């Protein structure tokens, strides 16, 4: 394990003092029970659980500010918590401290339909927001697998299947209200669509994983619900042809909304799990958004590309039910994958490379998986060059875990060597800290300088993102 640059001494007496004040002020909304603490350290991660000393459920930016000031005064770490769906140990408390749970800050604060923007509490989840928006004709497009909180998604720079069309949280967040390490409440930007007025604090906070401040509310760009949606599926003799089709699609300017790759193992899993009979070959799932005429045209253009690239069996439909059926393999991929090895625990990782290197990167990764003997299907948001490997590990066999660590390191280094990044959408947390020096070189010093300047006490989610570099 690489040591983080920002370690923090444990100070039981200080923690005790902070807990006493929090208990007094927040009563039932402050918890120190073991189960609650474990739940707030443990997330859907392969890293072991490191529990915070207490969990406080905040209900406003002012409360968060008060808690931060209290912790700063006593030099006690703070770990912000949304829904707990992060994957790389973002929520662990290696130096103890207070977990600030923002799930009760879940109000939709403003919807400006004319501007296609809204402002929501950090604890609002993406599904909650889309349910709320249903009658407005608008939707919020970013869709990581989990029903994550918008605050957490901003903090980890999340994205998902339709980032190829709608971008990531970097592109979708207009502004944030953030409590800084000194307790000040900062609004990072106005809600204008663009601005050249000074440093881009919004983008600095998006993806900072709670290490610079605590996101309390988020102003988002929304999109109009498309008039028509077409879903399609096709398969290819090999990975190269599938990737070629993706590249052609993007180059031709087809505004594809989703373009997802399943490798043959994942297709097999879906066949077994959902009683389908898809060809067990590299398979692309596509979705087109637009007017009826436009999605027809996009589908027809894509059909030509599939044929030119050696693909087969392209089927598409705009009917909602048939579309869901067509896409069922993709929708069920995660659970289907788990059924490949009953009793196994999934370790999910992601990397992102320039799309021209995607076939090569996936192929080399598959060779690695074979060499290690892992059962590990691959699913990719291939329009962005981003793909996931789900390693199915036997929790009873620690040696598998050790092997997995070697595999993960090779994968991350491979992606970086190909001009890519060790994570396209999961974030760094504790798990990917060790690749940061290799990926960023001297840039890491700049990040550390920013961290030191904004959080000189290092109380904000210490032990994440930035490794120690001597």
Show contacts with its own copies in window 356-395 (CB under 8 A). Answer: 356, 384-386
In the complex with its own copies, the residue whose CB is nearer, 200 or 370, is: 200
Rg (CA), the chain: 22
Q: Which of residues 322-341 bind its own copies (CB under 8 A)?
A: none
Among 37, 40, 74, 157, binds its own copies (CB under 8 A): 157
Q: Greatest CA span in the chain, whole angstroms?
A: 69
**How far apart (Å, rounded) are the C-alpha atoms in residues 217 and 149?**
11
Q: At its nearest, how many Å lie between its own copies and the CB of residue 156?
A: 6
Residue from 428, 431, 458, 463 touching its own copies (CB under 8 A): that is 428
Q: Residue 39 or residue 386: which is nearer to its own copies going by CB?
A: 386
The H-or-E segment that residue 365 falls in is helix 358-372
Provide the minimum distance between the beta carbon of 140 and its own copies in the complex, in angstroms, as a whole number.
14
Residues 6+ apart with CB under 8 A from 250: 164, 256, 355, 383
Nearer to its own copies, 35 or 453 (CB): 453
Q: Which 16-35 positions form the footprint of its own copies (CB under 8 A)?
A: none
* Residue with Cβ nearer its own copies (39 or 177): 177
One DSSP character per residue, 189-210 reads: --SSS---SS--HHHHHTT-TT
Residues 218-237 that bind its own copies (CB under 8 A): 223-224, 226-227
| Contact string (CB under 8 A) for its own copies, positions 95-134, x = contact | -----------------xxxxxx-----------------
DSSP conformation class of 182: T
**Integer Cα distance of 205 and 218 in angstroms:** 11
Structure-block tokens of residue 281 = 């070959």
The candidate with the shortest Cα–Cα distance to 61, out of 150, 21, 121, 126, is 121
- 427 binds its own copies, rule: CB under 8 A: yes
Task: Considering only residues 193 through 212, tell me which ones interact with its own copies, judged by CB under 8 A.
Answer: 193-201, 203-204, 206-208, 212
Binds its own copies by CB under 8 A, chosen from 10, 440, 457, 469? 440
- The reply to whether 168 sits near its own copies by the rule CB under 8 A is yes
- Interaction of residue 62 with its own copies, rule CB under 8 A: no
Spatial distance between the Cα atoms of 144 and 301, rounded to a whole number of angstroms = 28
Neighbours of 13 (CB within 10 A): 8
Please give the DSSP secondary-structure letter assigned to residue 85.
Answer: -
């Amino acid at each position: 394990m690489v040591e983080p640059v920002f370690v923090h001494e444990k100070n039981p007496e200080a923690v005790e003092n902070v807990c006493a004040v929090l208990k007094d002020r927040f009563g039932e909304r402050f918890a120190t029970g073991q189960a609650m603490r474990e739940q707030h350290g443990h997330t859907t991660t392969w890293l072991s659980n490191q529990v915070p000393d207490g969990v406080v459920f905040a209900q406003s930016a002012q409360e968060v500010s008060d808690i931060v000031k209290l912790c700063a005064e006593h030099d006690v770490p703070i770990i912000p918590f949304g829904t707990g769906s992060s994957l790389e140990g973002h929520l662990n408390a290696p130096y103890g401290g207070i977990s600030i749970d923002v799930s009760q800050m879940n109000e939709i604060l403003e919807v400006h339909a004319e501007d296609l923007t809204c402002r929501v509490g950090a604890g609002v989840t993406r599904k909650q927001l889309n349910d709320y928006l249903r009658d407005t004709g608008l939707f919020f497009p970013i869709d990581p697998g989990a029903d994550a909180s918008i605050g957490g998604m901003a903090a980890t720079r999340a994205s998902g299947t339709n980032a190829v069309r709608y971008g990531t949280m970097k592109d979708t967040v207009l502004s944030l209200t953030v409590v800084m390490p000194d307790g000040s409440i900062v609004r990072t930007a106005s809600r204008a669509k663009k601005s050249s007025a000074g440093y881009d604090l919004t983008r600095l906070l998006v993806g900072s994983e709670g290490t610079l401040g605590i996101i309390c509310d988020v102003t988002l760009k929304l999109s109009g619900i498309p008039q028509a949606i077409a879903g399609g599926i096709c398969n290819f003799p090999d990975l190269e042809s599938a990737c070629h089709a993706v590249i052609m699609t993007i180059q031709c300017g087809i505004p594809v909304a989703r373009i997802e790759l399943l490798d043959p193992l994942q297709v097999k899993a879906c066949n077994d799990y959902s009683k389908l009979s898809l060809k067990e070959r590299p398979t692309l799932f596509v979705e087109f958004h637009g007017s009826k005429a436009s999605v027809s045209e996009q589908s027809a253009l894509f059909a030509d590309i599939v044929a030119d690239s050696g693909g087969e069996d392209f089927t598409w439909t705009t009917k909602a039910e048939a579309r869901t059926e067509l896409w069922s393999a993709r929708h069920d991929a995660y659970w289907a994958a788990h059924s490949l090895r009953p009793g196994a625990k999934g370790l999910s990782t992601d990397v992102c490379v320039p799309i021209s290197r995607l076939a090569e990167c996936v192929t080399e990764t598959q060779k690695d998986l074979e060499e290690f003997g892992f059962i590990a299907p691959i699913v990719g948001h291939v329009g962005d060059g981003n793909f996931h490997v789900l390693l199915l590990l036997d929790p009873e066999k620690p040696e598998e875990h050790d092997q997995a660590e070697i595999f993960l390191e090779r994968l991350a280094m491979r992606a970086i060597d190909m001009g890519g990044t060790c994570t396209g959408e999961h974030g760094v947390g504790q798990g990917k800290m060790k690749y940061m020096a290799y990926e960023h070189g001297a840039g890491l010093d700049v990040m550390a300088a920013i961290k030191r300047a904004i959080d000189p006490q290092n109380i904000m989610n210490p032990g994440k993102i930035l490794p120690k570099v001597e």
